[in-house]
A and B are shown apart, each in its own frame.
Chain A
Amino acid sequence: MSSVSSADIKREFSKSVLGITGILIIISLITVSIIAAITIPASTFQEWNNPEKWLEYPKTSVPIWVNYFTAEKIPEHKIIEPQIFQSNSNNVYLTSQQFLINFEFDDFPSDFVYEYEAKYSNAHLISVNLLRPDGLEVNLLTMSLPFSENETIYKQRIFSTDEMIKKNLLMSSNLFMFDISQKSVTDILFSDTNENKILKGNYAFVVNMYGIDNQSKITDSKIVLGGKAYGFMGTDELRRDLAVGLLWGTPLALFIGVSVAIGSVVVGLIYGVYSGYKGKKTDETMMRFNDIIYALPALPFLIILAVTISNSIFLMIGFLMIFSWVGVAKVSRSMSLQIKTRQYVEAAKIMGQKDSKIIFRHIIPQLLPYAFASIAISVPAAITTEAGLSFLGLGDPSFPTWGQILHDANTYGATAQGFWWWIIPPGLLIAITGLAFVFIGNALDSIVNPKLKR
């Protein structure tokens, strides 16, 4: 146990490729966490387990970047916001919304939903048209909003499976050279007129609202065009955007890993040093207690604790600490046994300094390099253990962690159905995060323990 100055550590560390890699990975994970905190409102992840929040998302969709690698482009799931124009002629006010879609995929969209909220009074008329790349304009639906004398707010969802739309289409069946009666609405609308093949290009849904009152307006509207690819990370069986879960998992994993590591190392360090410094009966008793904790089977106990007491994430951190300070205590004890025989410690003792002062002033500072190395090394174990517990379904449901994403994947049989985007990223993130801390820990360890350096 030679004392190493912090300047030495810095210099040696900057030479270690793995150590630097570890630091870089952690910096990028922290950046991701900050981005997650800024861009994704916290309410999103709190509603992770609320199925209503995810209704307009597609089920188990592949990430959109998959299309870069495949010849057949999978239709993207799109949530389209309108451009709104208003005009009036002869006292008829027109609110026109245009939803533009550049459709360049090799399969038909599965469906679409037009969702709007209108504020109006008196009578209004709505017509939904689709403008196709070949210049054809198809009227999908024309209908009047329910009459109301006072100003009301009216919400409606129009689905592509609506009977009226199909009827309207059948009336213009002469436009198409093939039999459209057995096809779904989207298969007809996005098809070439000569044969039932995708017609690529720019489409526009045009929704016009006519009224004699300029107070009326559309307060909220969107078109959800159903596809099989969504977002940067795809979606799961419960339609959740996996990118949100994975992004929010990053700060959570770091928080769990780092707080368990720091907590257990601090406890272990003080416990071990005190035990070694005091010696005799105190040491004996404290080490017996240490042995007992060491011999407890951690995982079964963690499971029982999670089931019977609580699976709140903060309590879990505490439970994990109970089982992870033991090793550090053992090593710090043997180190403090050596340090307490040094002359300056003996001198301090003769001068009558208090035990607590000797421990915190003279012994613990000597162990700090070792402590930092152990913190880094114990982070991965904490992260994987928490992930394992979450995987068993014992995670805190109000905080979606990577382990819970994998638990859901396992519950819904993602392996059997080949939903690789649901299985690979969370595990990879767990491994990469762990690896970064192992790299740093190993680099620090070989500096602090020159014996291992070869």
Chain B
Amino acid sequence: MLGLKRYLVTRGLTMFGVLLVTLLLTVALVGSNMDTILKQGIIFQVRSEITDNPSIAKSFTNPEDFEAFVQQKIDERIIALGLDTPWYSPQRIGYTMFKIMILDFGNATFLTSDTGSPNVGDILLEKLPKTVLLFTTATIIISIIGILLGAASSSKIGSKTDRLTSTFAVISSSFPVWWIGMLMIFAFAFVYQIFPARATPDIEPSDPGYILSLLYHMALPLITIVLIGFGSWAYLVRNFMVGVMQEDFITAKRTIGINKKKIIYKHALKNAAPPIVTILALSLSGSLGGAIITEAVFDWPGMGRLYFEAISVMDLPVIIGSTYVLTVLFLISIFIADLLYGYFDPRVRTGL
């Protein structure tokens, strides 16, 4: 087990490195914009405080003195927040990164959560479960259909089912999910008005019917993601199964006359499981990235749409926060995939 431990430690360190690199890159890319926005915020804040309190303005007789006073106030705040040193100074980057790492993202510039809180953490916490709900459900359905269909087509290679599955896999994988999404909305929300066009439920989250409404609104995106996803899954499972079916122990089982169905669903599937499980974890992480466009199309109130909205209004704290959370989720699922892979594949375990 020493090999596995070493393997996991290296992977874990790499993941942590990736997290730091991602953070650094994000901060570097948005840093200068962030500073400009923060400074403007301070100027606005100081000026509004002074206009709210007319006695301050009255105590000055000379407008130049007054301006100098305002400027001094602004400078004080800028220094207090450490904005006088440029964003790329080591201590500021270090401080920013530290704050992000402990999940303190500050307040959003424009966006708010459904309850009205501008805290980025609150907003993310509200959106995250919805993304997880949609994409985990989709991945589970996809993998169930995929495994069953893949096993079925691997049992009859070259049959109609097999050829249909392979063709469907190739074709469906080259269609962009979001475009199919547009077509689905067009067909099932407008031509045949079965599902709602916008996936955001129109009732308040506190309403008892909210969960049902959410599930109803989830149907169309879910169907679309499953429709586009299950083909390539089935194809993948089929290919793994074909590999396993050629192994000697299966041939042996076949010669002693064990039922073919039993061989496929019990023995072969069990042996094809490791790569399948690994890819399951990877595809879950992959779908999170794709969530940005899919959620934008369906207007699903999750992380992806939040990201899209944050980018359209350049809400930097939200952009940084959601990039971080997406990266963490992505890395966790890669790490789980690695873990499973290391666990199942003895070559990794022994350090070969």
Residues of A within 8 A of B293 (CB): 299, 388, 391-392
B118 at the binding interface (Cβ < 8 Å) = no
Asked if A420 CB lies within 8 Å of chain B CBs, one says yes
Q: Are A452 and B239 in contact (CB under 8 A)?
A: yes
Tell whether, in the assembled complex, residue A427 and residue B292 are in contact, meaning their CB atoms are under 8 Å apart: no
B190 near A406: Cβ-Cβ < 8 Å: no
Tell me the A173-191 residues at the B interface (CB within 8 Å): none
B255 close to chain A: CB less than 8 A:
no
Bitwise, A400-436 to B at CB < 8 A (1) or not (0) is 0000001001100011101010011011001100110
- Closest Cβ of chain B to A436, distance in Å, is 9
> Is A7 part of the contact surface with B, judged by Cβ < 8 Å?
no
Closest to A424 in B: B183
Q: Judging by beta carbons under 8 Å apart, are A391 and B190 in contact?
A: no
- Whether B176 lies near A387 (C-beta < 8 A) is yes
List, in ascending order, chain A residues with CB within 8 A of B29's CB: 304-305, 308-309
Distance between Cα atoms of A298 and B291 in the complex (Å): 12
B326 x A438 contact (CB < 8 A): no
Q: Which of B150-183 contact A (CB under 8 A)?
A: 157, 170-171, 173-176, 178-180, 182-183
Q: Which of A296, A424, A438 is packed against the most chain B CB atoms within 10 Å? A: A296
Task: Tell me whether B334 and A299 are in contact (CB under 8 A).
Answer: no
Chain A residues in 8 Å Cβ range of B319: 304
With an 8 A cutoff between CB atoms, is B17 at the interface?
yes
Question: CB within 8 A of A308: which of B30, B170, B290, B296?
Answer: B30
Answer whether residue B98 sits at the interface, using C-beta atoms and an 8 A cutoff: no
Decide: B311 and A410 in contact? CB cutoff 8 A: no
- A372-B319 Cα distance, complex, nearest whole Å: 38
Stretch in B20-28, B59-67, B78-86, B128-136 touching the partner: B20-28
B70 contacts the other chain (CB 8 A): no
Question: Closest Cβ of chain A: how far from B247's Cβ, in Å?
Answer: 14
Interchain CA distance A410-B296 in the complex, whole Å = 10
Number of interface residues of B (CB under 8 A): 51
A305, closest chain B residue (CB): B29
Answer yes or no: B141 CB below 8 A from chain A CBs: no
**Distance between Cα atoms of A198 and B239 in the complex (Å):** 63
Residues of chain A within 8 A of B242, CB atoms compared? 454
Which of B15, B157, B173, B179 lies in contact with A430, CB distance below 8 A?
Answer: B179
Identify the stretch in A55-63, A105-113, A287-295 within 8 Å (CB) of chain B at 4 or more residues. Answer: A287-295
B289 within 8 A of A: yes
CB-CB contacts below 8 Å: A11-37 with B: none
Cα distance, A418 to B22, chains bound together (Å): 42
Contacts of A304 in B (CB 8 A): 26, 29-30, 319, 323
Name the A residues within 8 Å of B290 (CB-CB): 299
Enumerate B267-326 residues with CB–CB distance to A below 8 Å: 288-290, 292-293, 296-297, 307-308, 311-312, 314, 319, 322-323, 326
Closest partner residue, chain B, to A18 (CB atom): B170
Instruction: Give, as a whole number of angstroms, the nearest-CB distance from B195 to chain A.
Output: 12
Contacting pair B171 A392 (CB below 8 A): no
Complex alpha-carbon distance, A439 and B183, angstroms: 24
The answer to whether A299 touches B176 (Cβ under 8 A) is no
Any B CB within 8 A of the CB of A121 = no
The answer, among A295, A298, A409, A439, for a CB contact under 8 Å with B14, is A295
Task: Give Cα A300 to B131, complex, Å.
Answer: 15
| Structural contact, A297 and B21, CB atoms closer than 8 A | no
Complexed CA–CA distance, A438 and B170 (Å): 7
When the two chains form their complex, are residues A415 and B18 in contact, meaning their CB atoms are under 8 A apart? no
Is A126 an interface residue when CB atoms closer than 8 A count as contact? Answer: no
A434 touches B30 (CB 8 A): no
Contact call A438/B174, Cβ cutoff below 8 A: yes
Q: Could you tell me the distance between the alpha carbons of A442 and B169 in the complex, rounded to whole angstroms?
A: 12
Is the CB–CB distance between B14 and A427 below 8 Å? Answer: no
Give, as a whole number of angstroms, the nearest-CB distance from A437 to chain B.
8
Question: Nearest Cβ distance between residue A382 and chain B, in whole angstroms?
Answer: 12
**B191 interface residue per 8 A CB criterion:** yes
B185 at interface, CB cutoff 8 A: yes
A297-B186 CB under 8 A given contacts A427-B176, A442-B170? no
In the complex, whether B330 has a CB less than 8 A from a CB of chain A is yes
How far is the CB of B244 from the nearest CB of chain A, in Å? 13
In the complex, the chain B residue whose C-beta lies closest to that of A413 is: B197
Tell me whether A9 is interfacial, beta carbon within 8 Å.
Answer: no
- Is A423 within 8 A of B182, CB to CB? yes
Cβ contact within 8 Å between A435 and B176: no
Chain B residue with the shortest CB-CB distance to A307: B311
Interface mask (A94-117 → B, CB under 8 Å = 1, otherwise 0)? 000000000000000000000000
Inter-chain CA distance A333–B293, complex, in Å, is: 33
In the complex, how many angstroms separate the beta carbon of A337 from the nearest chain B beta carbon? Answer: 13
User: Which residue in A291, A298, A409, A427 is a CB contact (below 8 Å) of B18?
Assistant: A291
> Do A300 and B176 have beta carbons less than 8 Å apart?
no
Q: Give the shortest distance, in Å, between A394 (CB) and chain B (any CB).
A: 8
Residue in chain A with minimal CB distance to B324: A300
| Least CB separation from A301: chain B residue | B25
B117 part of interface (Cβ distance < 8 Å) = no
Contacting B157 at CB < 8 Å: which of A292, A299, A454? A454
Query: Is A435 touching B30 in the complex (CB atoms < 8 A)?
Result: no
Of A300, A303, A309, the most chain B CB neighbours within 10 A belong to A300
- Provide the B1-45 mask, 1 if CB < 8 A to any CB of A, else 0: 000000000000011011001100110011001000000000000
Shortest Cβ distance from residue A322 to the other chain B in the assembled complex, whole angstroms: 11
> Is the C-beta of A384 less than 8 angstroms from some C-beta in chain B?
yes
Determine if A380 is an interface residue (Cβ-Cβ < 8 Å). yes
Residue pair A410, B182 in contact (C-beta under 8 Å): yes
Given contacts A298-B289, A418-B190, 20 further A-B contacts (CB under 8 A): A295-B18, A295-B331, A297-B22, A297-B330, A299-B290, A301-B22, A301-B25, A303-B307, A304-B26, A304-B323, A308-B29, A309-B29, A410-B182, A415-B182, A415-B185, A415-B186, A431-B171, A434-B175, A442-B170, A452-B239
Provide 21 A-B residue pairs closer than 8 Å at the C-beta atoms, listed in order of the A residue: A291-B18, A295-B15, A297-B323, A297-B326, A298-B289, A300-B322, A300-B323, A300-B327, A303-B292, A304-B29, A380-B174, A391-B293, A392-B308, A414-B182, A431-B176, A434-B175, A438-B170, A438-B173, A439-B170, A452-B239, A454-B157
Please name the 9 residue pairs, one residue from A and one from B, whose CB atoms are nearest each other, closest first: A434-B174, A427-B179, A295-B18, A299-B289, A415-B186, A435-B174, A308-B29, A431-B175, A297-B330
Q: Which residues of B does A touch, CB under 8 Å? A: 14-15, 17-18, 21-22, 25-26, 29-30, 33, 157, 170-171, 173-176, 178-180, 182-183, 185-186, 189-191, 197, 239, 242, 288-290, 292-293, 296-297, 307-308, 311-312, 314, 319, 322-323, 326-327, 330-331, 334
Q: Which residues on A are within 8 Å of B, measured CB to CB?
A: 288, 291-292, 295-301, 303-305, 307-309, 380, 384, 387-388, 391-394, 406, 409-410, 414-416, 418, 420, 423-424, 426-427, 430-431, 434-435, 438-439, 442, 452, 454
